[in-house]
């Protein structure tokens, strides 16, 4: 069975399953020391890590790159130059307006036709409807993990398909929300080593990828799929949906009794850096302490450890004073 690789969580996996493909997300490998053609060193480390994985761990049979940001568009161009045989680009709107949903539905239909040609089959729309239902059921089951007292780092690896065991954790520790760019797993471990409890990871591949809304099915299953993904919890790239983003973050803070926010950015991630300023102002108005941590999508380093430890210590003093 052919495996489809994908990168951005706005890529609908239901489409691959309906077409009979296996699917696998590329999370990237450490690009340091790798010879990466076509991508500048001052480009987002996540994109560079995905290029390193695609070129050094065996080229994917089929790869879908969503146009989530300029860095991923550059990644797509680099992979084109490398001559990947079955490489597809998925245009992705930044708004959740009806016109954007219609546009995205058409893009998904076109992608389905292109993928069907690779697999030598055709898309069965009833099969897509079934895949939609299976996807919703799977997300509902996974989101229940956030009601269990387990460590955020083990939960994150489990959801990424890289870990099998969920380590217990004390939910009495300082309750933190991690948001922003896709974090390296080591950052979550470091937060816990410094005394924080990750109540919720609003990250690509974690809670943000599970809390999908219940929506009414459209006659066209591609429109249903487009609405489902464009109305999901927004990530920093959805610049046209900032009010929804803040409403969503407020719901997380209240629902998970969050005491502080760790905002992570991958170096040179424009979307997260632009949003950081807005989230900082919003958090200040809400009275929620926020710490900004930047990595190159690798080992966070000793400076991050010192700052995280100081942040947790400050939150502990704040809890005692309330």
Q: DSSP string covering 246-291, please?
A: HHHHHHHHHHTT--EEEEEEETT-HHHHHHHHHHHHHHHHHT--EE
pLDDT, position 210:
93
What distance in Å separates the CA atoms of residue 84 and residue 80, rounded to the nearest whole number?
Answer: 6
pLDDT, position 32:
67
For each of the domains in the chain, give its residue range(s) and CATH number, in order of start: 3-133 (3.40.50.11890), 146-321 (3.40.50.11900)
Residue 184's alpha-carbon distances to 140, 206, 241, 258, 267, in angstroms, are: 25, 12, 26, 21, 12
Q: Which of 157, 194, 151 is nearest to 169 (CA)?
A: 151
CB atoms near residue 183 (< 10 Å): 28
Residue 262's alpha-carbon distances to 18, 83, 85, 117, 206, in angstroms, are: 37, 39, 40, 44, 15
Q: Which of 240, 308, 304 is nearest to 274 (CA)?
A: 240
pLDDT, position 30:
76
* The model's pTM: 0.94
pLDDT, position 35:
56
Total number of residues shown for the chain: 322
Residue 217's alpha-carbon distances to 13, 96, 100, 128, in angstroms, are: 17, 16, 17, 12
What are φ and ψ of residue 295, in 5° steps? Answer: -130, 170
What distance in Å separates the CA atoms of residue 192 and residue 173, rounded to the nearest whole number?
Answer: 9
What distance in Å separates the CA atoms of residue 185 and residue 162, rounded to the nearest whole number?
Answer: 10
Q: Can you list the positions of beta strands (E) in the chain? A: 3-6, 22-25, 62-66, 87-90, 174-180, 196-202, 260-266, 290-295
Strands 87-90 and 62-66: parallel
pLDDT in tens, the chain (322 residues): 789 999 999 999 999 999 999 999 999 987 765 656 788 888 899 999 999 999 888 788 899 999 999 999 999 999 999 888 899 999 999 887 889 999 999 999 999 999 999 976 778 889 999 999 999 999 999 999 999 999 999 999 999 989 888 999 876 789 999 999 999 999 999 999 999 999 999 999 999 999 888 888 899 999 999 999 999 988 888 866 788 889 999 999 999 999 999 999 999 998 999 999 999 999 999 999 999 999 989 889 899 999 999 999 999 999 988 7
What distance in Å separates the CA atoms of residue 296 and residue 269, rounded to the nearest whole number?
Answer: 10
Quick one: tokens of 272? 């997260």
What distance in Å separates the CA atoms of residue 29 and residue 184, rounded to the nearest whole number?
Answer: 10
């Amino acid at each position: 069975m052919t495996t489809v690789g994908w990168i951005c969580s706005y890529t609908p996996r239901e489409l691959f399953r309906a077409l009979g493909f296996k699917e696998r997300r590329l999370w990237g490998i450490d690009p340091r020391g790798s010879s990466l053609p076509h991508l500048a060193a001052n480009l987002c480390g996540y994109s560079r890590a995905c290029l390193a994985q695609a070129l050094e761990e065996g080229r994917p049979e089929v790869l879908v790159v969503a146009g989530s940001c300029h860095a991923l568009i550059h990644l797509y161009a680099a992979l084109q130059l490398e001559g990947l045989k079955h490489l597809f680009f998925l245009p992705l709107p930044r708004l959740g307006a009806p016109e954007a949903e219609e546009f995205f539905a058409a893009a998904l239909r076109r992608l389905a036709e292109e993928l069907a040609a690779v697999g030598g089959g055709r898309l069965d729309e009833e099969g897509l409807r079934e895949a939609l239902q299976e996807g919703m059921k799977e997300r509902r089951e996974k989101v229940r993990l956030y009601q269990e007292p387990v460590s955020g780092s083990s939960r994150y690896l489990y959801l990424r398909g890289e870990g099998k065991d969920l380590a217990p954790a004390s939910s009495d520790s300082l309750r933190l929300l991690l948001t922003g760019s896709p974090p390296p797993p080591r950052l979550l471990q470091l937060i816990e080593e410094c005394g924080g409890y990750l109540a919720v990871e609003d990250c690509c591949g974690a809670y943000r990828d599970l809390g999908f809304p219940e929506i009414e099915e459209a006659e066209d299953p591609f429109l249903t799929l487009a609405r489902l993904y464009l109305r999901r919890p927004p990530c920093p790239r959805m610049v046209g949906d900032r009010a929804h983003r803040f409403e969503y973050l407020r719901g997380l803070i209240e629902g998970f009794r969050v005491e502080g926010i760790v905002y992570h950015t991958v170096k040179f991630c424009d979307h997260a850096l632009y949003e950081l300023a807005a989230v900082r102002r919003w958090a200040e108005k809400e009275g929620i302490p926020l710490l900004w941590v930047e990595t190159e999508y690798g080992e966070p380093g000793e400076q991050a450890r010192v700052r995280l430890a100081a942040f947790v210590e400050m939150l502990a003093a704040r809890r005692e004073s309330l």
